[in-house]
Amino acid sequence: MIDIVLTTYNARYIHSAFGLRYLYANLGTLQDKTELLEFTIHQRPLDVVESLLQYHPKIIGFSVYIWNINEISQTVAILKQIAPNIVIVLGGPEVSHYPDLPEVAESADYVVQGAGEISFRQLCEQLLNGLKPINKIIKAELAPLTQLKLPYRLYTEEDIRNRIIYVEASRGCPFKCEFCLSSLDKTAKPFELGIFLDEMTDLYQRGARNFKFIDRTFNLKVKSSVAIMEFFLERMEGIPAEENDLYLHFEVIPDNLPNKLKTVLTRFPPQSLQFEIGVQTFDPVIQTLISRRQDNDKTAENLLWLRKHTGAHIHADLIFGLPQDNLENFAKSFDRLVSLKPQEIQLGILKRLRGAPINRHSETYDLRYNPLPPYNILSTRDIDFITMQRVNRFARYWDMIANSGRFPTTLPLILGDQAFMNFMQFSDGLFQRAGSTWKIALRRLFELVYQVMKEQNPSHQAVLKLALIEDYQLSGQSGLPHFMQKQSNTSQKTSKKGKANKRQQQHRH
């Protein structure tokens, strides 16, 4: 008999609902009457409702995020029509900042705001005992981390084989960057290291090899960071680098890389580490405005060191649309980051997160956001809507061409000595020809790159052709790119036609 269903929509199947596993782990005696169901945003809400109702639950708890608010809103609306007796409880970042709530909160019976491991269980106990709390909005009770049951044993064999395994060695963040919800935290608190590593041992022994640490500041407490990395290094001992299948993802503070940590990092084999490094902006005036502390020179120095001395994959983030930023100023940050040569640059567009302190700047800097998810910035005092659209396309094409790694030889020809402005011009040309930033087949993309570059840099055609052929073959494609085959066929036809004409002339004479 199932009384409670915990559920959400993940962005992709490979993702796993870490927060729901924490709720489930801390349900105590209610676990036996609870089911955890995960869906993806590609599934129809009608089909999801059908799956949920098969369990005949009394309570359904939804984990609501910016990426699944539309799907959950539709699901709740359908449930309220056909099963109004089921109690709907919402939790997650998208509903945790009263009174700034989405419309779906009005349809829900209860909303749990904040980390809900304790408060959700208490709510379910009350409801199942026939007690209905008066307050619809429930502010979650913050429990010491030592009192929480860890969720790692809830990862199934299927999860370990096919999903990313999310883990956290600490919670919270001491920094106050206003675009981030973690700025609302008072500080960062670690889990007890020995217990955490015991859980990691169990996961590793069960076959987990892809660990994504969601700590906001993994390298804040270097002693713990080193201990965790040493733990994983021990499990790599004796395994040839080419056979290593362990992959670790960390989010790190860019300007905090002391020698103790550097020494450990150099011992990891290539392709075993990924660092997500939030640079966001190199502009000190904007950094001050949004309460971000960052030593820019140290950040640049550390990025260069990581690229030179480790085999780590660097995923660096920049945000476009911050208060007081403009196109020319952002170009300086982008060009500086390109010069540091991270393997990926994620160009993010500012989004309005409910509860984020940056919302205090909306009036002063005329920050105008999309009223629909994902609430992306549409224009600011210094960036008009047309420019914002151009940068959105830039970001998408950058993912396809630069971050994909499919154009290593061609990309430098596109960027030249002014990376941002040259790629912006290229992006404009690409959109003019393609008319879209989605569903462009790889062969078609190579042809488009050639056509745009040929128009914008006609004197570099010969070099461009060689670069594109090299990248095309590196991408796993055989033969010549499609557009060059056309040229080759055209040349052959012209040649044959010329020979035929010559024979005809000889015959006449």
Tally of helices (H runs) and strands (E runs) in the chain: 18, 16
| pLDDT, tens digit (0-9, with 9 covering 90-100), for 157-174 | 999 999 999 999 999 998
* CB proximity list for 250: less than 8 A, separation 6 or greater: 213, 215, 218, 219, 273, 274, 275, 276
Phi, psi of 112 (to 5 degrees): -100, 120
Count of Cβ atoms closer than 10 Å to residue 221 Cβ: 16
Helices (H), 340-460: 385-398, 411-415, 419-434, 442-456
Q: How far is the C-alpha of 335 from the C-alpha of 153, rounded, in Å?
A: 45
Question: Residues 94, 353: contact at Cβ < 8 Å?
Answer: no
Q: Which CATH number is 4-145 given?
A: 3.40.50.2300
The structure's pTM equals: 0.91
pLDDT per residue, tens digit, the chain (509 aa), is 899 999 999 999 999 999 999 999 999 999 999 999 999 999 999 999 999 999 999 999 999 999 999 999 999 999 999 999 999 999 999 999 999 999 999 999 999 999 999 999 999 999 999 999 999 999 998 889 999 999 999 999 999 999 999 999 999 998 899 999 998 888 889 999 999 999 999 999 999 999 999 998 898 899 999 999 999 999 999 888 888 899 999 999 999 999 999 999 999 999 999 999 999 999 999 999 999 999 999 999 999 999 999 999 999 999 999 999 999 999 999 999 999 999 999 999 999 999 999 999 999 999 999 999 999 999 999 999 999 999 999 999 999 999 999 999 999 999 999 999 999 999 999 999 999 999 899 989 999 999 999 999 887 888 999 999 999 989 887 777 777 765 544 434 444 444 444 434 433 33
Instruction: Outline which parts of the chain fall under CATH 3.40.50.2300.
Output: 4-145
pLDDT at 57: 98
**Percent of the chain at pLDDT exceeding 90:** 85
Q: CATH 3.80.30.20 region(s) of the chain?
A: 155-359
Architecture of domain 155-359: Alpha-Beta Horseshoe (3.80)
DSSP result, 286-311: HHHHTT----HHHHHHHHHHHHHH--
